[in-house]
């Protein structure tokens, strides 16, 4: 049985470089153009910039290096193995989240470890932020996880065109 002793750690691109040097399969996956990725990963790219030649690695790199002041980024980690990426954008006064993106590094099987991190992630966000909003393309499989968060925290989901918009409001003091 897989060890479920996972943790979220601040995403640092140098850490990812080291892991990718050791794990060639992960390196290949993260540097594959979106148009060649499994469909659930194409949704992530489409939601961010709709460039079919974009790679997941580039999305992580840009997030970690260029949006440091308004985006918090984390790797899901078990031991020395990175299992996923989670990032969220917050307002400058740091009381609201207005976008969330996340994905597992394993496209071949269900990522139970990553799912546990996501549940913990939403628990922490609702303790810290007054309002959490984000959107995903309707066909994105992550909507199942997002809907569970909405149900757990009494939030609202609404379909607008090709997207599902989510909102959770809390009484967190920030």
Lowest model confidence (mean pLDDT) among 52-56, 59-63, 104-108, 109-113? 109-113
**Banded model confidence at residue 117, pLDDT cuts 50, 70, 90:** low
Residue 174 lies in a domain: no
- Helices of type H across the chain: 13-22, 24-30, 39-48, 56-66, 112-128, 143-153
| DSSP bridge pairs for 71 | 89
Average pLDDT of 66-87? 87
Host domain of residue 119: 9-169
Euclidean distance between CA atoms 87 and 11, whole angstroms: 9
86 in a domain, yes or no? yes
**Which pair of tokens denotes residue 131?**
């309002």
Q: Supply the CATH number for residue 140's domain.
A: 3.40.630.30
Give a yes or no: residue 3 inside a domain: no
87 lies in some domain: yes
Task: Convert the pLDDT of each residue in 134-152 to its tens digit.
Answer: 998 888 878 888 888 899 8
Domains in the chain: how many in total? 1
């Amino acid at each position: 049985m897989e060890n479920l002793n996972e943790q979220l750690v601040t995403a640092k691109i140098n850490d990812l470089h080291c892991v990718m040097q050791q794990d060639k399969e992960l390196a290949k996956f993260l540097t594959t153009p979106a148009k060649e990725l499994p469909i659930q990963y194409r949704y992530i790219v489409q939601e961010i910039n709709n460039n079919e030649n974009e790679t997941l690695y580039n999305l992580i790199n840009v997030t970690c290096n260029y949006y440091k002041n308004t985006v918090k980024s984390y790797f899901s980690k078990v031991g020395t193995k990175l299992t996923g990426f989670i990032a969220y954008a917050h307002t400058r006064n740091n009381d609201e989240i207005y976008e969330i993106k996340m994905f597992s590094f394993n496209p071949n099987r269900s990522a139970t470890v990553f799912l546990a991190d996501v549940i913990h992630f939403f628990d922490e966000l609702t303790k810290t932020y007054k309002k959490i909003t984000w959107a995903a393309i309707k066909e994105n499989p992550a909507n199942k996880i997002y809907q569970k968060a909405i149900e757990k925290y009494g939030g609202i989901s609404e379909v607008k065109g090709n997207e599902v918009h989510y909102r959770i409001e809390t009484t967190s003091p920030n």
